[in-house]
DNA sequence: TATCCAAGGTAAGTT
DNA sequence: AACTTACCTTGGATA
């Protein structure tokens, strides 16, 4: 599977067009595992300044945004977001990195809580991402009981072994595998990629999507809690992973994935929100974090705590 | 050097 | 419906 593409075009998005933005925080905060740093320092040092590092990925066609596969590289400079891509990626980057969000308005709309204030101050400019749904679903199935650097490594291996190889300007890029490509994998082969007990989950979920039995994108048409229930039909997907897909791919900004870090934050800062069940605790913390944009608050708090910001 | 532990949880079995 | 337990693998902590 190899395809020859055109060469890379180049361009830039002026900073003044997008408002507050932090590319490193956006792409290394554990929301997306689908980008790479060609300098090999992805997740190397949580707090080290990413400076003007390049990030790159291969994006599948996305309905209403781009009708073809795009190889895109991006980096943040002082006065612009520079890009290199196989076709003009500005609408695509706007979609993937939520450059169309009015971040100041969103942060202003969240409640005045000390923990949120500190997280927002530390990483102001971080955006939520809009990952392609299938890749996002697989990424977070892999995330169970795993460290972020290893989740990222798994996705790299999946792309390398099962995705299309694209050559651009003499360099090779690996697209994330399609449902068909991943459904054809065997459990033992996926275990060799160090997926562990997640291997059969990934294969069977890919098969469900490939067969047309269900598709993560279909959850976008449902109300929030119904959408979460819909996603849990996939193998290896419980409430937490479902919330991640809703938040990081399908635009449900109210979703608050209850991971270990947020559960710690609830225990330490918002004990009244612990209602026993996922469903009720989720409702409580969602309300505590301001409702419609609670997912933004969750993601800032997650990154802040995981990066040791509380220390 | 050996052992233990936890990492962005979920499925399957029990009560 | 709530509660247990097993599950792959590995880097870093502890003895």
Query: Residue A202 in contact with residue A190, Cβ under 8 Å?
Result: yes
How confident is the prediction for chain A on average, in pLDDT? 95
The reply to whether A150 Cβ lies less than 7 angstroms from strand C is: yes
Helix (H, G, I), strand (E, B) or coil at A239: helix
Percent of chain A with pLDDT over 90: 93
Task: Report the Cα A183 to chain-centroid distance in Å.
Answer: 22
Spanning CA of A225 to C1' of C1, the rounded length in angstroms is 19
**pLDDT score for A3:** 54
Q: Cite the beta strand spans of chain A per DSSP E.
A: 2-4, 9-14, 55-59, 70-76, 80-85, 165-168, 171-174
Query: Which nucleotide across the nucleic acid strands is nearest to A277, CA versus C1'?
Result: C2
Interatomic CA distance for residues A214 and A201, integer angstroms: 15
Query: Which nucleotide across the nucleic acid strands is nearest to A148, CA versus C1'?
Result: B8
Query: Residue A52 in contact with residue A37, Cβ under 8 Å?
Result: no
Q: Which of A268, A309, A276, A265 is nearest to A294 (CA)?
A: A265
Residue keyed to tokens 């395809």: A3
pLDDT-wise least confident of A37-41, A183-187, A196-200 = A37-41
Q: Which of residues 136-195 of A touch strand B (CB under 7 A)?
A: 143-148, 151
pLDDT-wise least confident of A12-26, A42-56, A194-208, A223-237 = A42-56
**pLDDT score for A127:** 98
- pTM for the model: 0.97
Q: Which helix (H) or strand (E) holds A262?
A: helix A260-269
The reply to whether A34 Cβ lies less than 7 angstroms from strand B is: no
Interatomic CA distance for residues A59 and A88, integer angstroms: 13
C-alpha to C-alpha distances, A198 to A37, A147, A194, nearest whole angstrom:
25, 14, 9
**pLDDT score for A49:** 62
At residue A6 the predicted structure's pLDDT band, cuts being 50, 70 and 90, is confident
**pLDDT score for A311:** 54
Spanning CA of A150 to C1' of C11, the rounded length in angstroms is 10
Spanning CA of A37 to C1' of C5, the rounded length in angstroms is 39
What secondary structure letter does DSSP report for A180?
H
The reply to whether A276 Cβ lies less than 7 angstroms from strand C is: yes
Q: Take residue A114 and report the two structure tokens written for it.
A: 């000390």
pLDDT-wise least confident of A207-216, A230-239, A286-295, A301-310 = A301-310
The pLDDT of residue A143 is above 80: yes
Q: Which residue lies nearest C6, CA-to-C1' measured?
A: A197
Torsions phi, psi of A204, nearest 5?
Answer: -70, -35
The reply to whether A196 Cβ lies less than 7 angstroms from strand C is: yes
**pLDDT score for A308:** 81
Mean pLDDT of A84-99: 98
At residue A51 the predicted structure's pLDDT band, cuts being 50, 70 and 90, is confident
The pLDDT of residue A45 is above 80: no
Protein-proximal positions, strand B, CB < 7 A: 6-11
Mean pLDDT of A270-289: 97
Protein-proximal positions, strand C, CB < 7 A: 1-3, 7-10
**pLDDT score for A298:** 98
Spanning CA of A172 to C1' of B14, the rounded length in angstroms is 51
Mean pLDDT of A157-176: 97
Mean pLDDT of A7-30: 96
Reading phi first (left if > 0) and then psi (alpha if -120 to 50, else beta), residue A112 is in beta
């Amino acid at each position: 599977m190899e395809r020859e593409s055109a060469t890379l075009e180049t361009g830039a998005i002026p900073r003044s067009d997008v408002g507050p933005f932090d590319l490193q925080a956006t792409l290394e905060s554990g929301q997306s595992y689908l980008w790479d740093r060609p300098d090999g320092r992805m997740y190397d040092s949580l707090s080290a300044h990413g400076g003007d590092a390049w990030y790159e990925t291969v994006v599948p066609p996305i309905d209403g945004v781009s009708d073809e596969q795009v190889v895109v590289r991006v980096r943040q400079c002082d006065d612009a977001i520079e890009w290199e891509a196989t076709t003009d990626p500005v609408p695509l980057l706007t979609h993937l990195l939520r450059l169309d969000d009015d971040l100041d308005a969103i942060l202003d709309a969240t409640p005045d809580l000390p923990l949120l204030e500190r997280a927002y101050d530390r990483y102001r400019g971080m955006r939520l991402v809009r990952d392609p749904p299938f890749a996002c679903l697989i990424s977070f199935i892999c995330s169970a009981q795993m460290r972020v650097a290893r989740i990222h490594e798994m996705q790299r291996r999946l792309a390398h072994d099962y995705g299309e190889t694209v050559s651009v300007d003499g360099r090779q890029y690996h697209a994330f595998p399609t449902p068909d490509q991943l459904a054809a994998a065997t459990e033992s082969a996926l275990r060799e990629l160090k997926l562990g007990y997640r291997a059969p989950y990934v294969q069977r979920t890919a098969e469900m999507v490939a067969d047309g039995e269900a598709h993560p994108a279909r959850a976008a048409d449902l109300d929030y809690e119904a959408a979460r229930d819909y996603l849990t039909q996939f193998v290896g997907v419980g409430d937490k992973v479902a919330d991640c897909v809703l938040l990081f791919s399908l635009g449900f900004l109210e979703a608050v994935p209850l991971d270990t870090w947020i559960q710690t934050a609830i225990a330490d800062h918002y004990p009244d929100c612990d209602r026993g069940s996922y469903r009720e605790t989720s409702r409580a913390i969602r309300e505590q974090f301001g409702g419609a944009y609670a997912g933004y608050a969750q993601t800032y708090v997650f990154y802040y705590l995981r990066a040791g910001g509380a220390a």
